[in-house]
Amino acid sequence: KQEVTQIPAALSVPEGENLVLNCSFTDSAIYNLQWFRQDPGKGLTSLLLIQSSQREQTSGRLNASLDKSSGRSTLYIAASQPGDSATYLCAVINTGGFKTIFGAGTRLFVKA
């Protein structure tokens, strides 16, 4: 059974710092991996989708990498800003599957 784990559960950094959020999954047979952002009391916003054949995706200050063989993905945020404060979730769809399996998220706080 696929399990998605995100460490740390919470992170506090000063503004301007580069940071890495981690996501691990137990079954490497995935179709894709998606990173989301969630602000308090709001829905999820899609940040990046990495296909199983890809190694990374970039959008602005965000870069997501995927290493299927080791069951890991990282979300790199460059030059963090207070507006980046939110919960970040990763999610995978298994090969041959349909449902999305979500991690519990990393709660990020960027201090001004």
Partner 1 sequence: DVKVTQSSRYLVKRTGEKVFLECVQDMDHENMFWYRQDPGLGLRLIYFSYDVKMKEKGDIPEGYSVSREKKERFSLILESASTNQTSMYLCASRITARGNFRIKNNEQFFGPGTRLTVL
Q: Which residues of this chain interact with partner 1, rule CB under 8 A?
A: 31-32, 34, 36, 41-46, 49, 51-53, 89, 91, 93, 98-100, 102-105
**Which one, 14 or 43, has the nearer CB to partner 1?**
43
Distance CA 46, CA 88 (A): 10
**Which one, 13 or 44, has the nearer CB to partner 1?**
44
**Which one, 19 or 93, has the nearer CB to partner 1?**
93
Which of 3, 20, 23 is CA-nearest to residue 63?
A: 20
Q: What sign does the dihedral 106-107-111-112 (CA atoms) show?
A: positive
Which of 108, 104, 54 is CA-nearest to residue 76?
A: 108
Write down the least CB distance from residue 9 to partner 1, Å: 11
Write down the least CB distance from residue 77 to partner 1, Å: 20
Write down the least CB distance from residue 42 to partner 1, Å: 6
Length of the chain: 112
